[in-house]
Amino acid sequence: MAYAHTRTPENRGGISLYLLRGFRSAAVVVLVLVLLSTIIAHGQTLTFQNPRDLLIGDPAAIVDLLEAARPAPVSTEDIGAILRALPPTGEVTKLGAAAQRKVNAVRQLLTATRREWYEIKVIDVPQAAIGLHARAVVLISAPAIALVNAAELQAMAAHEIGHEYVWTEWNRAYQHADQNRLNELELVCDAIAAFTLHQLGKDPSKVIDGIEKVTRFNRQRLGAATNEKNYPPVAERRAFARQIQQRLRNSSRRSRSGHQAP
């Protein structure tokens, strides 16, 4: 996820946010050589040496790379098993009009990125949070629905899409308590979200705007998270977001003027 919370490493990977319901107190080839050490598991995992490598090269080429490395969808059979394994209580099924519009905005983003097979669940937990469970279910907490606007919620969902590309590596880093690598992978997902939004004609700055709102909300109401060190400080993420946004602006200007980005 985009901010401090609890993740549960498992065979499929995923987060334990939903489970907290019962504990409420709690050129592409050239770019590949530059950015990646490997593409693993039939293109399903990208390994970035450094998130700032994403500041190198043509953003359009990075988008092409992400498309080439797009993970295969989770099978219908597996999605059914994942949904059956979710807790039987805690889902918010009756949404007001404003909340439903925000959920619809997330669905629109998933459709635009050809991830219609994702399920979306709104859940009743104290934290403001959005996460990707088992690479199949977007979990959005009720406080997050109320807190952020539709564009910010879309942007944070785009960050979760980014986790598809680093799923295996995130779980490896988590299991080894490699906080530095976990921090780097969150920045990678921030960047993937920014590139995704830019490609769709949306504002990439909404990623960090949403993260800042959620982080502030959770700190004020719940205090510091126990796993906060697994996530980069918000100031670092804001600085990195500005670099990515500047890169995207420069690329757009060159494209309009007929020049190719280096």
Model confidence at 235, pLDDT cuts 50, 70, 90, reads very high
pLDDT given for residue 202 in this prediction: 96
The contacts of residue 158 (CB under 8 Å, 6+ apart) are 109, 113, 192, 193, 196, 197, 207
Mean pLDDT value of segment 185-210: 96
Mean pLDDT value of segment 143-147: 97
Question: At residue 203, does pLDDT exceed 60?
Answer: yes
Tokens 């539709």, residue located: 150
Q: Hey, what are 170's tokens?
A: 């995130």
Using CA atoms, how far residue 14 sits from 91, 118, 141, 179, in Å, is 17, 14, 15, 17
Out of 61-75, 135-149, 169-183, least confident range: 61-75
Mean pLDDT value of segment 236-245: 95
Dihedral of CA 3/173/64/256: which sign? Answer: positive
Mean pLDDT value of segment 47-64: 81
pLDDT digits (tens, 9 = 90+) for 100-122: 999 999 999 999 999 999 999 99
pLDDT given for residue 17 in this prediction: 40
Model confidence at 251, pLDDT cuts 50, 70, 90, reads confident
Q: Hey, what are 113's tokens?
A: 């990125």
Model confidence at 170, pLDDT cuts 50, 70, 90, reads very high
pLDDT digits (tens, 9 = 90+) for 56-94: 878 888 888 888 888 899 999 999 999 999 998 999 999
pLDDT given for residue 123 in this prediction: 96
- Judged by DSSP in three states, 131 sits in strand
Long-range contacts of 225-228 (CB under 8 A, 24+ apart): 225/4, 225/5, 225/6, 226/6, 227/4, 227/5, 227/6, 227/7, 228/4
pLDDT given for residue 92 in this prediction: 95
Question: The pTM is what?
Answer: 0.82
Answer whether 249's CB lies under 8 Å from 198's CB: no
Out of 35-39, 95-99, 125-129, least confident range: 35-39
Going by C-alpha positions, the residue among 214, 168, 184 that lies closest to residue 53 is 184
Tokens 């980069």, residue located: 232
Q: What is the percent of the chain where pLDDT is above 90?
A: 63
Mean pLDDT value of segment 147-164: 97
Q: What does the domain layout of the chain look like in residue ranges?
A: 18-257
Model confidence at 192, pLDDT cuts 50, 70, 90, reads very high
DSSP string, 74-102: PPHHHHHHHHHHS-SS-B-----HHHHHH
pLDDT given for residue 50 in this prediction: 83
- Return mean pLDDT, the chain: 82
Q: Is 177 exposed, middle or buried (0-12, 13-18, 19+ CB in 10 A)?
A: exposed
Higher pLDDT, 260 or 198: 198
pLDDT given for residue 4 in this prediction: 52
Q: Hey, what are 238's tokens?
A: 């804001």
How far apart CA 167 and CA 44 sit, in angstroms, is 8
How far apart CA 208 and CA 240 sit, in angstroms, is 10
